[in-house]
Structure 1
Amino acid sequence: MQLGISTYTYGWAVGTPENRPSTYLTELDLLTKAEQVGVSLVQVGDNLPLHQLPAQSLRTFSQEAQAKNISLEIGARGLTEDHLHLYIRIARQLNARLLRFVVDAKDYEPNVDTIISIIKVLLPQLENTQLTLGLENHDRLKAKEFAYIIEQVGSPFVGICLDSVNSMGAGEGLEQVVEILAPYTVNVHIKDFGIKRLPHLMGFQIDGRPAGKGMLNVPWLLEKLIPYQRCHTAILEQWVVPEDTLEKSIGKEDAWATESIQYLKPYFT
């Protein structure tokens, strides 16, 4: 299994709609980050939408990745037929072997049958190009629903991008989710986390931690995935608790990324 970083390793540096740095992290900057932390895999998520880049920028990105011997994976949000078709084309351009998709988008939440139908329409393109589609477990759908989707599609080129925290938004714990989705997992997002009771005692707060400093049992997670031999890449993602300025938050996530990758590397040698 190969270890890598993504645009969600550096979410504050890439920027959010509410907090966009004046100089944000680009796809080329991500390649430099990979060199700095010593990995040769990057995943570009939907927070840096590749379909909005000029054609020349995509060509330059592909050329720079090849020159640096860095493998690419790409991602998108909003699983419509047109959007999936567009990103299959972009994956071809970038020689990416994995396309990670978050099903939902703003004002778009397709039902399970619709998701299956969309994937089946584009399945010949995925299989002909040997491109693997990984559906990310996100907040709305339950693990069993994701498993049902994969079973109904029935292709080795469609699986799960397993995020270690997202399903808590659907009321499901990690052990439950891994038990159901491990057989279908083609990519894993290693995102460490902490849970603490709020000072008024009425509720909990879930937020991020550097890898190895939170509640995620990384060795256990990898041991659960390895027997199925479908998961070939692991991506460090981070929910970095923000500081009082965006500049400080960006510096913090950079330090967390370096620390986390150093912690994780021994599990991937």
Structure 2
Amino acid sequence: MAIGLSTYAFFWRGSTRMQTPMTLEDMLEETAELGGAVLQICDYAAVETFDDARLTELSRHAKALGITLELGTRGLNLAHIERYLQIAERLGVSMLRSMCHSGEDHPDDADAIRRIEALLPQLENQGVVLALETYEQIPLNRLMNVIETVDSPHLGICLDPANCVAALEIPQQVIERSAERVVNLHIKDFAFTRSPAWVGFQLIGAPLGEGLLPFDDMMARLQPAARRINCIIEHWLPWQHDSVTTHDTETRWTRHGINLLRNRHG
């Protein structure tokens, strides 16, 4: 097990809403400073524009800091995943997170299985594991059917119980059903809060350990250290009214999360 950060832990600080957005190199430096061992470059479209020289330098920088890189994208479009496998090869990445859907491309289960099976030779050749994330657009039982039908060591689950709450799936049940196929773990806490005027609720992020994520139970069930499952911290931090407050809050949540994970389960 290695503890790391996702680019989602830098969501606001890396955005154009900051006067000086963080670069991937900045994120690598902070990951190392906080004692993390992994940076997952997840849904970070700019990486698709990097030429070979930039990718090679990013890989070199990560290795110099002792950081393992992972990649994350969306969908099962074959050309798109093949492009990410090219990026993965250049970066030395062996874990690629994705989702079944992207934009208007919504393959049914049979089509998803066909696409993944077409990708298996390349995944096997590169030594890459494709981790499909649990999320609200696909019921967990359907996602598990895809994973279990393909039944390859190069395919597994990227578990994020928080995502499934929007589909009224219970986090504890999601953890239990997917546990044996988990190969990557996204850790973000969440809470329900009343909307303004108490009309409905909002599902938003919370500092790790302070929300509704069954954090310790999840770690006990998965045993990520024994199974060498990397634990990647993310946030659902709402914008905090201004850039300075948002920057400082995101920084604090990130430091708190990685410290709590290390102290309890590192």
TM-score interval (norm. to shorter): over 0.9
Q: CA deviation at 1:255?
A: 1.1
Q: Is the 8 A contact 1:185 1:230 kept in 2?
A: no
**Which residue number corresponds to residue 233 of structure 2?**
236
d(CA) in 2 for partners of 1:122 and 1:199?
A: 47
Change (3 A) 1:246 1:110: farther
For residues 99-248 of structure 1, what are the structure 2 equivalents within 5 Å? 99-198=96-195, 200-226=197-223, 230=227, 232-248=229-245
Q: What SS does the aligned partner of 1:77 have?
A: coil
TM superposition shift of 1:210: 1.0
Aligned residue type for 1:153: V
Cα deviation, 1:185-243, whole Å, max 9, x if unaligned, reads 10110001112344655522211111111122221101111289655101000011211
How many Å apart are 1:115 and its aligned residue? Answer: 1.2
Percent sequence identity is: 33
Q: Distance in 1 between matches of 2:146 and 2:193?
A: 34
Matched residue of 2:241: which SS? Answer: coil
Distance 2:251 2:120 in 1: 38
Q: Distance in 2 between matches of 1:113 and 1:171?
A: 24
Take 1:131 and 1:4, find their aligned partners in 2: how far apart are those partners? 18
Q: Residue 11 of structure 1: CA displacement?
A: 0.9
Which of the residues 236, 260, 264 maps onto 2:257?
Answer: 260
Shift of 1:259: 1.3
Q: Distance in 2 between matches of 1:220 and 1:236?
A: 17
Listed as ranges, the gaps of 5+ residues in structure 2 are none
User: What does residue 2 of structure 1 align with?
Assistant: 2
Would you say how many aligned residue pairs link Structure 1 and Structure 2? 266
1:47-73 CA-to-partner distances (Å, cap 9, x unmatched) read 344212222211110010111111111
TM-score by length of 1: 0.92
Post-superposition Cα deviations, 1:109-131, rounded to whole Å, max 9, x if no partner, equal 22222211111001011112221
Q: Bigger CA drift: 71-80 or 140-149?
A: 71-80
How many Å separate the matches in 1 of 2:241 and 2:224? 44
Shift of 1:23: 2.7
1:6 partner letter: S
Q: CA RMSD, aligned part only?
A: 1.9
Structure 1 contact 3–268 (Cα < 8 Å) conserved = no
Any idea what SS the aligned residue of 2:12 has?
helix
Q: Who is 2:14 aligned against?
A: 14
Residue 247 of structure 1, CA deviation: 3.4
Write the distance in 2 (CA, Å) between the matches of 1:229 and 1:34: 23
The correspondence for 1:93, drawn from 90, 94, 99, is 90
Contact 2:2–2:228 under 8 Å retained in 1: no
Q: Distance in 1 between matches of 2:224 and 2:183?
A: 12
Matched, 1:84 2:76: no
> 1:155–1:226: structure 2 CA closer, same or farther, 3 Å change rule?
same
253-262 vs 49-58, which deviates more?
Answer: 49-58
List runs of 5+ in structure 1 lacking aligned partners: none
Which range moved further: 243-252 or 207-216? Answer: 243-252
Q: CA deviation at 1:91?
A: 1.1
The one-character-per-residue Cα deviations of 1:2-22 (angstroms, maximum 9, x if unpaired) are 11001011111222xxx6434
Partners of 2:149 and 2:47 lie apart in 1 by 29
